[in-house]
Amino acid sequence: MNRIALRGDLLDFSTDPGFGPPDAVPGVRWRPDHWLLVDEHGRIAGVLDASVSEPDASYRRIDQRGRLILPGFIDTHVHSPQLDVIASYGTELLDWLETYTFPAERRHADPQVARAGAERFCDALLAHGTTAAVVFPTVHKQSCEALFTSANARGMRLIAGKCLMDRHVPEWLADTVESAERDSLELIERWHGKDRLAYAMTVRFAPTSSEAQMDMAGRLLCEVPGLYMQTHVAENRAEVAWVRELFPQARSYLDVYHRHGLLNERAVLAHGIWLDDEDRALLAASGAQIAHSPTSNLFLGSGLIGWQALEAAGAKVTMATDVGGGTSLSMLRTLAEAYKVQALQGVRLSAWKALHSATAGAADALGLGHEIGRLEPGLMADLCVWDWARAEIDANRLALARGLHEKLFAWMTLADERHLAAAYVAGTARFERTTIAP
């Protein structure tokens, strides 16, 4: 590839801005009208203030003046086959799984469906400004295979693993301990550590794995360096009660995973709404993170996450869409809902904190801060170019903002994927808006 230089308003975060008032936070790096230099290997080579210098002739210039340039978003929990059930009416988690989700996932047993679905999903992520993700495909090996193939073809940083689920699911969607281990090992062999991909042991959730299956997952986590773990925890009250019945010996839902050796600094647990102090301390001690999924938590009526309490205990929280429980692949819409989830609890989520959690915060939590999440020399050029406003009323609102935070907060709340002008993965444009959105 050629060297490129992008000109625009650069925003990223050196450290976590925290929950403080927006005018007094650390870590915000705002560099209006700068050049971002990308080398021939797709890495960020430098940043230049456009008012004082310009790129040398070896860079192809791409002038995005007046647009915002952010690191690509990182979605830490999303289900690739569930684009097909997004916006399904009238159910809570357990009923939603039975009624809509399991039948939709069944279709991915067909390799052609799996392949077409994976292509559609990866293109959709990029078209929403998400360049890296932690993803659940289905129980089927070919679904995971298709997902890695599609992500790799686009050069994406993707973490995924075939779903483990050997009980309390329809027999047409169940694996066994043996088949799960065999399929996981084959997929690990093919994909873990290949280019920008990593494998995650993917325990769907405690109710759908036998103790033997969770033990197997815990053993592989110990045996294979760098594996991630992903699952769900404490999302819905009926689910929590079911786990209590199934695992009477465990102190809590989270403790089930702990007992099977599934919690470590590369563990990503979606939701984490119904937790107590001991759970929060366990998350902090293990280094595991909670993938907060506000559109899903509101849509499925699951509850309101105690984000501040988690962070006060030292636990990590990142941001996720959880499509198809979640209602949009847009991390901007997700952040806007996250603000409302906190507002309902009397907590104010600044645009700084929100945007950090979906970029540098997620990168750090995944142990990938050396590769993605910031606009810094040496990191991969995974980044997105955004319009500030697409409609006159929004432009008018932004023009009335008093100060940068107010403007950015209004943008975060009003914008969505239609504001995305381009998405770059490792310096290559993988999405460019060509049509005028309404």
Smallest distance, ligand GUN to C-beta of residue 313, A: 23
Helix (H) or strand (E) holding 229: strand 228-233
Instruction: Determine the interface stretch with ligand GUN among 15-23, 46-54, 93-101, 177-185 (rule: CB under 6 A).
Output: 93-101
> CB under 5 A: which stretch of 19-27, 217-225, 269-277, 302-310 binds Zn ion?
269-277
Per CB under 6 A, the list member of 9, 75, 84, 235 interacting with ligand GUN is 235
User: Which residue number places its CB atom closest to ligand GUN?
Assistant: 325
What are the two backbone dihedrals, phi and then psi, of residue 249, each rounded to the nearest 5 degrees?
-80, -15
Alpha carbons 246 and 164: distance in angstroms, whole number: 17
User: Helix, strand or coil for residue 23?
Assistant: helix
> How is residue 343 written in tokens?
């507002």
Q: What is the DSSP letter of 73?
A: E
Can you tell me which of 73, 121, 199, 205 binds ligand GUN, judged by CB under 6 A?
A: 205
Of 67 and 271, CB closest to Zn ion: 271
Site for Zn ion in 313-352 (CB under 5 A): 322
Interaction pattern, residues 24-63, with Zn ion; x per rule: CB under 5 A? ----------------------------------------
Which C-beta is closer to ligand GUN: that of 12 or that of 322? 322
The option from ligand GUN, Zn ion, none interacting with 150 (CB < 5 to 8 A, set by class) reads none
Looking at the Cβ atoms of 142 and 230, the one nearer to ligand GUN is: 230
Q: Is 232 in the site for ligand GUN (CB under 6 A)?
A: yes
Instruction: Tell me the closest approach of the beta carbon of residue 287 to ligand GUN, in angstroms.
Output: 22
Contact call for residue 101 and ligand GUN (CB under 6 A):
yes
Could you count the other beta carbons within 10 Å of the beta carbon of residue 74? Answer: 29
270 contributes a contact to Zn ion by CB under 5 A: yes
One-letter amino acid identity for 277? D
Contact of 43 with 380, CB cutoff 8 Å: yes
Q: How far apart are CA 11 and CA 220, in angstroms?
A: 39
The residue written with tokens 């994406």 in the block is 156
Task: Give burial (CB, 10 Å; 0-12/13-18/19+) of 80.
Answer: buried
214 Cβ contact partners less than 8 Å away, ≥ 6 residues apart: 203, 206, 256, 257, 260, 262
Q: Is 327 in the site for ligand GUN (CB under 6 A)?
A: no
Residue 239 or residue 279: which is nearer to ligand GUN going by CB?
239
Residue pair 431/72 in contact (Cβ under 8 Å)? The answer is no
**Binding of residue 239 to Zn ion (CB under 5 A):** no
Choosing among ligand GUN, Zn ion, none, which partner's interface includes residue 205 (Cβ < 5 to 8 Å by kind)? ligand GUN
Task: Tell the burial category of 24 from Cβ atoms under 10 Å away from its Cβ (0-12, 13-18, 19+).
Answer: exposed
Whether omega before 361 lies within 30 degrees of 0, making that bond cis, reads no
Count of all residues that appear for the chain in the document: 438
CB-nearer residue toward ligand GUN: 191 or 205: 205
Nearer to ligand GUN, 322 or 382 (CB): 322
Count, residues near ligand GUN per rule CB under 6 A: 11
Interface with Zn ion (CB under 5 A): 270, 322
